[in-house]
Amino acid sequence: MIFIKEANVHDRKFNPQKLQKLNSPDRLKDIPPDYIMGKLNLKKSEVLVEIGAGTAFFSKAFLRQLDAKTVYACDLSETMLQWIKDNVTLKYPNIIPVKTGESTIPLEDRLADMVFTINLHHELENPGLMLLEAYRLLKPGGKICIVDWLKKEMAEGPPAKIRCFLGDVKAQVVQAGFGNVKDYEDLAKHFLVVGEKGH
């Protein structure tokens, strides 16, 4: 697995006290859901899993974009999960908050049509294990989607030193068993890596 620990794990995690930043409409301009859907070429998407869902901001966006039946909004933080319960699930009852471990997700095998992460990969203590979990959760033919910050200094986002190299993330996705792995760098602040679970 290609992963260099450049900072204390806790320094990588998003501070839940800043959660209102996660609800900024600017995030949809920086990471347009229709752009991501165009790269994924999903034909059917009844069940989605978001790992590191935060406030379920993108869970809501992808739910609408794909007309999915269920989105499992998974997060390590009890604060985030409680926020989802208090502010999201009443209006979006098919978004289900799920408490995860650092590299484990308590959901059944072959459940999802798509597993996605938004600005999470650089926070992971062991990204290889989480990618194996994503592979386990996907149905055959299901898609993995990873969006994270480009590794360069900019006014927003985490320090460049803890961001991931695109090539490393792509290699990790391949190593986890995914095929048809592609990467994109045409967003201003983020990269995208997509892959597919074999049939």
Asked whether residue 5 carries a pLDDT value surpassing 70, the answer given is no
Task: Calculate mean pLDDT across residues 86-98.
Answer: 97
User: Would you say residue 8 has pLDDT above 90?
Assistant: no
Mean pLDDT of 112-141: 96
CB 131 within 8 A of CB 159: no
Residue 199 is predicted with a pLDDT of 84
Question: Where does the chain have alpha helices with state H?
Answer: 9-12, 26-30, 33-40, 57-66, 78-87, 127-137, 166-175
- How do beta strands 138-149 and 95-99 pair? unpaired
Q: Model confidence at 23, in pLDDT bands (50, 70, 90)?
A: confident
pLDDT (tens digit per residue) in 35-52: 998 999 887 789 999 999
pLDDT confidence band for 18 (50 / 70 / 90): low
Question: Can you tell me the distance from the alpha carbon of 28 to that of 58, in angstroms, rounded to the nearest whole number?
Answer: 8
Topology (CATH) of 30-35+44-196: Rossmann fold (3.40.50)
Residue the block writes with tokens 């993108």: 58
DSSP for residue 109: T
On the CB side of 109, CA atoms within 13 Å amount to: 3
pLDDT tens digit sequence for 135-144: 999 999 999 9
pTM of the model: 0.89
How many other C-beta atoms can be found within 10 angstroms of the C-beta atom of residue 117?
25
Which of the residue ranges 14-28, 94-108, 167-181 would you say has the lowest mean pLDDT? 14-28
